Copies of this chain bind each other. A is one copy, B any other.
Amino acid sequence: MVIVLAPGADEAVIEEIKQIVGEAGGEAFISKGVSRTIIGVVGNAGVLEALEARDLTQHAGVHEVLRVTTPYKLVSKENHAQTSTVMVGDVPIGPATVTLIAGPCAVETPEQTLASAKLAVTAGATILRGGAYKPRTSPYAFQGLGVAGLKILQEVGQEVGMPIVTEVIDAADVDVVAQHADMLQIGTRNMQNFSLLRAAGAAGKPVLLKRGLTSTYDEWFMAAEYIAQRGNLNIVLCERGIRTFEPSVRNTLDVSAVPMVHGLTHLPVIVDPSHAAGRRDLVLPLARAGLGAGADGLIVDVHSSPEQALCDGPQALFGDSLTELSQVMATFPALLGRAQPQR
């Protein structure tokens, strides 16, 4: 159940609704938008029936009560016709711009992170990425530096003047990651880790939500709804390739996802050509394809010494391929009627 408050409804109304929901055995989650406040109600069938019997549409300050029949509400375009612009630090991701996020797959050392960040700047990036917690298929693979990695990334971000985004893989780590990062990333394997989605939604930082490896669009948008329901609409979706039968590429970038996200939700969407391809020579063609499809940005792996990378070195851009990326960033946005955010 979603309760839409009237414009101008104040805190008192919110508290009254929370109390009514609580008495019925449910939980209320508050999403304050620019023009109005939405209260998501979670509870079993009995809770919802009890609340229906109360007929909250008669309550002062309530504009509308929606039974949730379509699968997602808060992130749907139905309630919010224009694509949102999400601010990461002072950098926008939204319909007016093409934003480049770049950096090393994993934070390994301060030196490697700084060198990679400088490469990212050269390519036209305005947000720095880097992994401190790495979800790895094998327990024997490098799992990331943890808090030490967060600190390195934060310091390097400050040095080069870019906000940072980094992955969080456990609800218990959300607070510490949110203290250091400007944006939380939820990865492919955790797209339906509902505890993590709820914790990220409550942390007060924008969230980059990657699509699951074989998720449908609806499942992806429902995962975003979990975040939104905790009061956080600052969500950017990321298409990063889906699993298909083709063995010669790691994953298959689904460019249709870009116009579909724009048609069904109000969330911005970026593409990750590096993880889709898993190999350097495909990154540029896929980056151009994603922008051609209308993506609001790109997230790309760069590395100063890819042959020494602890994680995903074969897909990291460097040298000539970075120069080519900077040329794409210099020409495609204008052709598509967009700007590149300035540093």
- A: residues with CB less than 8 A from B are 1, 40, 42, 44-45, 68, 71, 135-140, 142-143, 169-172, 189-190, 192-195, 213-214, 216-219, 222, 225-226, 229, 242-249, 252-256, 258-260, 263, 276-277, 281-282, 285-286, 288-294, 310, 331-332, 335
Contact among B45, B277, B288, B289 with A310 in the assembled complex (CB-CB below 8 Å):
B45
Which residues from chain B contact A246 at a C-beta distance below 8 Å? 216-217, 254, 256
Which residues from chain B contact A229 at a C-beta distance below 8 Å? 139
Q: Quick check: A140 and B194 within 8 Å, CB to CB?
A: no
Which residue of chain B has its CB nearest to the CB of A192?
B189
Given contacts A44-B143, A216-B247, A248-B260, 11 further A-B contacts (CB under 8 A): A42-B140, A44-B142, A137-B192, A138-B225, A169-B194, A189-B192, A190-B193, A216-B246, A255-B255, A258-B285, A332-B335
Contact among B195, B263, B293 with A281 in the assembled complex (CB-CB below 8 Å):
B263
Q: Quick check: B247 and A247 within 8 Å, CB to CB?
A: yes
Of A139, A213, A214, A229, most buried by chain B (CB within 10 Å of CB) is: A139
Which residues from chain B contact A139 at a C-beta distance below 8 Å? 40, 42, 194, 222, 225-226, 229
Copies in the complex: 4
A193 to B190, CA, bound (A): 7
Contact among B170, B282, B292 with A256 in the assembled complex (CB-CB below 8 Å):
B282
Nearest CB on B from A241, distance (A): 8
Which residues from chain B contact A253 at a C-beta distance below 8 Å? 255-256
| Interface pairs (14), CB distance under 8 Å | A44-B142, A137-B192, A139-B222, A172-B172, A213-B214, A216-B246, A255-B286, A256-B277, A256-B282, A259-B281, A285-B292, A289-B290, A292-B292, A292-B332
Q: Quick check: A310 and B44 within 8 Å, CB to CB?
A: yes
Q: Assuming A252-B252, A289-B289, is B194 touching A136 (CB within 8 A)?
A: yes
Nearest CB on B from A276, distance (A): 7
Which residues from chain B contact A44 at a C-beta distance below 8 Å? 142-143, 310
Which residues from chain B contact A138 at a C-beta distance below 8 Å? 68, 71, 222, 225
Which residues from chain B contact A242 at a C-beta distance below 8 Å? 244-245, 252
Q: Quick check: B276 and A256 within 8 Å, CB to CB?
A: yes
Q: Quick check: A140 and B286 within 8 Å, CB to CB?
A: no
Contact among B217, B222, B285 with A293 in the assembled complex (CB-CB below 8 Å):
B285
Which residue of chain B has its CB nearest to the CB of A294?
B285
Q: Quick check: A244 and B255 within 8 Å, CB to CB?
A: no
A342 to B40, CA, bound (A): 48
Q: Quick check: A135 and B192 within 8 Å, CB to CB?
A: yes
Which residue of chain B has its CB nearest to the CB of A68?
B140
Contact among B169, B247, B263, B292 with A289 in the assembled complex (CB-CB below 8 Å):
B292
Q: Quick check: A135 and B282 within 8 Å, CB to CB?
A: no
Of A192, A226, A332, A335, most buried by chain B (CB within 10 Å of CB) is: A192
